[in-house]
Structure 1
Amino acid sequence: MTPSPTLLDAALTAATRGWRVHPLRPGGKASALHGERACPHIGECAADHVKWEQRATTDPDRIRAAWTAGTFNVGIAPGPSGLVVIDLDVPKEEKRKGSSAAPDGATSFSALCERAEVPWPTTYTVRTPSGGLHLYFATPPDIRLHSTARTVAPNMDTRAWGGNVVAAGSSTPQGAYIVTDDVPAAVLPTWLLHHLQTPPPPIVAAAPLLIPGQATRRATAALERETAAVRGTSEGGRNNRLLAGARSLGRFVAWGEIPRDAVEEAFQAAGETAGLPTAECRTTIRSALDWSIRTCRPREAV
């Protein structure tokens, strides 16, 4: 199979910058490498499963071999690459209606810059298909940051250890990832590092549950307990913890004690805060809830 020059060049270009890359599914954002459940336990995984973050590489021979095998999108593993990428998103309402009324990630980031009394930083920048921006920053060698989801500012996520970034040159059905500022990644400013190191609030995405009549007290308490456990789980057990937590809440959804969308939203935020990819969180949560709702006993039998 003839490789796509655009995607192969994109992977090699990123690797030249010292950024570790890995293949994503063609036209998608998820890793094309096998997951833990499908691990054949051979080659690099002979002793134990090696995740995509550890398999990401700057080796040009490995890159050519991978992108010769298929037209894969290009993923960057920010943590091992010494990067943190600020993801400034566009609200869903704005994407759908073309409205500028809702605050977007760029507006949130501008506000942070104004409070710090600094200009918008000049750094390597990529525009996403949705109209958002990815700002790349180099992290100090003694700093280890983890990915966050809207804990710093509205519609502003970060991708660091545990996170994945779609590289420029890749594309999805919504459009292409395009470099808008082709300069070296600036060193992460101290003022921004302070925001990223500030612990998030103890309860993430629990606000919808505070609306009277939407959830029983015990369902709310269970959701807060389980999402907190997901956020506090370290790499290696995050997906399993997310699966177990969502399964434990399925019975309350089946019994009508809490809306399903509230459960999905809370676990999605908790999973992303723990560093899990967005798509992986969504798939795990839906599967867990479907199973739990289908198999739970009637409330009267408990």
Structure 2
Amino acid sequence: MNALLTAALDAAGHGWPVLPLRPGAKRPALHGEAACTRTGPCAGGHVKWEQRATTDTGRIRAAWSAGAFNVGIATGPAGLVVVDLDRPKTNADAPGGATTFLALCERAGQPVPTTRRVRTASGGTHLYFTAPAGGRLANTAGTLAPLVDTRAWGGYVVAVGSTTPAGTYTLEDDRPPAPLPEWLRAALTPRQPIRGVSVAPVAVSASRAATAALTAETAAVAAQTEPGRNKRLLEGARALGRFVAWGDLPRQVVEEAFQVAGEAAGLPPAECRATIRSALNWSIRTARPRTAS
């Protein structure tokens, strides 16, 4: 039995549907829609590679007996989310995906997840996770952090044992994929368009200036995309601290409003609370008297 057939059967044995990739490459070996003859599996209409990926050992043996195809794993049907930590393609001294992902984990107050780990042919890393139940996560490219991509529905990853001119995909940690951490799921879940953020009721005694500032700052935080969400939350909460110090707004109202805005922007709840608390403590402590402002 050849090594690539073994690799395909091994992936299928985990319950992960596989598809043949071009020999020595990473693109699917299956025909595209433009070249579809509407025969065989496509007799009723073009069947895309994600639908044709299979765990059927008979089909796998038949496919890989026809050539030295690399192996792709269709991540969506496999119930996987794979985080791809890439290496810089030009400037070797620039931070790679492993570095930016570590920084992302630190900002979230979380350790780098321990899970199944594959070293890619180019020296990057694939982290395998089981997808959360309910909903379908899609692929992302640089959404989490620079050189950090993800593959889920609509995507595939090159499986262990596949080889390209850059090298071979090798297994570094063979433990089963861990469940996708909740903070990562939240970061990867698309946010609905925000027309306005509903903040906590403002005290009747609040000044118009304080109310307007709270509305504007929380809306700006909610609309902020990565990178810069935590920084914008910090700046917004600091800008409102003076109104708390002057007695124009209750601290609880400000905290609740920014908590809603930060979570709407996709930040983890714990990260929001810590940032808001730190920002308000600093702003209240350093606020100048109203007459001096």
Q: TM-score range by the shorter chain?
A: 0.5 to 0.7
Deviations 1:21-51 (A, max 9, x none): 0000000111111111111111211111000
Equivalences for residues 94-243 of structure 1 within 5 A: 94=91, 99=92, 101-199=93-191
Deviations 1:55-76 (A, max 9, x none): 0001111111111111100001
Q: In the alignment, what sits opposite 1:77?
A: 74
Following superposition, the deviation at residue 141 of structure 1 comes to 2.6
Mapped to 1, the partners of 2:24 and 2:192 lie a distance apart of 33
Deviations 1:139-166 (A, max 9, x none): 1231301101112110001111111211
Q: Please say which of residues 73-82 and 85-94 is displaced more in the overlay.
A: 85-94
Q: TM-score, normalised by structure 1?
A: 0.62
Q: Which of these residues, 54, 59, 83, is aligned with residue 51 of structure 2?
A: 54
Mapped to 2, the partners of 1:164 and 1:70 lie a distance apart of 20
Q: Does 1:38 align with 2:35?
A: yes
Mapped to 1, the partners of 2:32 and 2:133 lie a distance apart of 29
Following superposition, the deviation at residue 189 of structure 1 comes to 0.5
SS in 2 for 1:125: strand
Deviations 1:158-210 (A, max 9, x none): 11111121111001011111111111011101011111114499xxxxxxxxx
Counterpart amino acid of residue 126 in structure 2? H
Query: RMSD between aligned alpha carbons?
Result: 1.8
How many pairs align? 194
Mapped to 2, the partners of 1:148 and 1:199 lie a distance apart of 14
Unaligned runs of 5+ in 1: 202-302
CA 24–53 in structure 1, closer or farther in 2 if over 3 Å, else same: same
Q: Does 1:13 align with 2:5?
A: no
Deviations 1:217-246 (A, max 9, x none): xxxxxxxxxxxxxxxxxxxxxxxxxxxxxx
Mapped to 1, the partners of 2:186 and 2:147 lie a distance apart of 18
Q: Does 1:25 align with 2:22?
A: yes
Mapped to 1, the partners of 2:111 and 2:182 lie a distance apart of 14
Q: Does 1:63 align with 2:57?
A: no
CA 177–200 in structure 1, closer or farther in 2 if over 3 Å, else same: farther
Following superposition, the deviation at residue 119 of structure 1 comes to 1.8
Contact 1:151–1:200 at 8 Å: present in 2 too? no
Contact 1:85–1:136 at 8 Å: present in 2 too? yes
Contact 1:137–1:186 at 8 Å: present in 2 too? yes
Following superposition, the deviation at residue 92 of structure 1 comes to 1.3
